[in-house]
Amino acid sequence: MYISEQEVRDVLTFEELIPAIRKALIDYSAGRINQPPRTILRAGNAEDDRNGWFAVMPVVADDVMGVKNVTAYPGNAALGLPTHMAVINLFNRATGEPLAVMDGRLITEMRTAAVSAVAFAALAPLHFTGDPASFGILGSGVQARAHIDALRRVWPLLKEIRIWGRNRENAERLAAETGARAVAIEEAAAGDVVLTATSSATPVLEGRWLKQNALVLAVGATASTLREIDDEAMLSCYLVAESRASVERESGDVRLSGAKVQAEIGEILAKGNTSTGTAIPTEGRVLFKSVGMAIEDLVAARLVWHALAAKAK
């Protein structure tokens, strides 16, 4: 059974995905997920930032097994193509029976934003003494849009959204469509909450622009040699990871700055503000770094499979 992107779009919602991701992150940190490191191969198709990569991401959890094959080609943006494309294979854990092959592009987009929404909902009440008021976004692509949608589900008071993109026209278009403002990078970076969702290979977020108590959600630069955040920002933040092992292995922002992971988000979700013996600071900066995990794709694919199976009855 092949499930197209449109079929995924018809049934996958943030209302169901966000709590499913929350549970998955808790289960991951508790050691209940069988998820080996993903295998990443460079495509070798170019010598510059057009050089893509191909990854294989297997995982076993609950009643299903799955593997996502994903490609990331930053240069595709200039060609009018998605920078990330994927296919997910879903299997019955009890019998090994293949259940479905589904397009994974939208799943990747939505689960990434859902992870950030879960992290925000966990960290913001621990970090801020009042409600954060402004949301700055560095990047104007699909992740910027998806994060606005996802964060609005867990941040009902979100009103002020500032968007910066290297393509000013794209930033202005996204701002107009989402009720945001297109601004200079310094103004976007000065929000209470800042999202970095770029394909940059070198830092675009400078620590000198951040508020002293900023919460940063970093989802771009997913490769050990790529960066979107400078040393000042990385080293001035209390660092929370989606996965210690994945972030320390795959994040250039972490590896090249020497920043140390203080906690996993799943630990905080499970145990609150005492998970690591040190509390999330109310003074200073906090940064949540994600690189994407197979378990997130699996729980999303499982939701799609069950929704379509229910419709077919």
Q: Give residue 224's pLDDT.
A: 85
Q: Which domains does the chain have, with CATH numbers?
A: 2-107+294-312 (3.30.1780.10), 116-289 (3.40.50.720)
Is the distance from CB of 1 to CB of 88 less than 8 angstroms?
A: no
Sheet with 98-103: strands ordered across: 2-3, 98-103, 84-92, 64-72, 53-61, 39-42
Q: Give residue 273's pLDDT.
A: 64
What dihedral angle (degrees, nearest 10) is formed by the CA atoms of 227, 201, 250, 68?
140
Q: Give residue 277's pLDDT.
A: 54
Q: Give residue 222's pLDDT.
A: 81
Q: Which amino acid is at 33?
A: I
Q: Give residue 276's pLDDT.
A: 57
Q: Give residue 57's pLDDT.
A: 98
Query: Is the Cα torsion angle 146, 147, 151, 157 positive or negative in sign?
Result: negative
Q: Give residue 205's pLDDT.
A: 98
Is the distance from CB of 38 to CB of 309 less than 8 angstroms?
A: no
Cα first-last separation, the chain:
15
Q: Give residue 206's pLDDT.
A: 98
CA 280 distance to own-chain centroid: 20
SS3 for the chain, per residue?
CEECHHHHHHHCCHHHHHHHHHHHHHHHHCCCCECCCCEEEECCCCCCCCCCEEEEEEEEECCEEEEEEEEECHHHHHHCCCCEEEEEEEEECCCCCEEEEEECHHHHHHHHHHHHHHHHHHHHHHHCCCCCCEEEEECCCHHHHHHHHHHHHHCCCCCEEEEECCCHHHHHHHHHHHCCEECCHHHHHCCCEEEECCCCCCCCECHHHCCCCCEEEECCCCCCCCCCECHHHHHCEEEEECCHHHHHHHCHHHHHHCCCEEEEHHHHHHHHHHCCCCCCCCCCEEEEECCCCHHHHHHHHHHHHHHHHHHHC
pLDDT in tens, the chain (313 residues): 899 999 999 999 999 999 999 999 999 999 999 999 999 998 888 887 788 889 999 999 999 999 999 998 888 888 889 988 999 999 999 999 999 999 999 999 999 999 999 999 999 999 999 999 999 999 999 999 999 999 999 999 999 999 999 999 999 999 999 999 999 999 999 999 999 999 888 999 999 999 999 999 999 988 888 899 999 999 999 999 999 999 999 999 999 999 999 999 999 999 876 655 567 989 999 999 999 999 999 999 999 999 999 988 7
Is the distance from CB of 230 to CB of 207 less than 8 angstroms?
A: yes
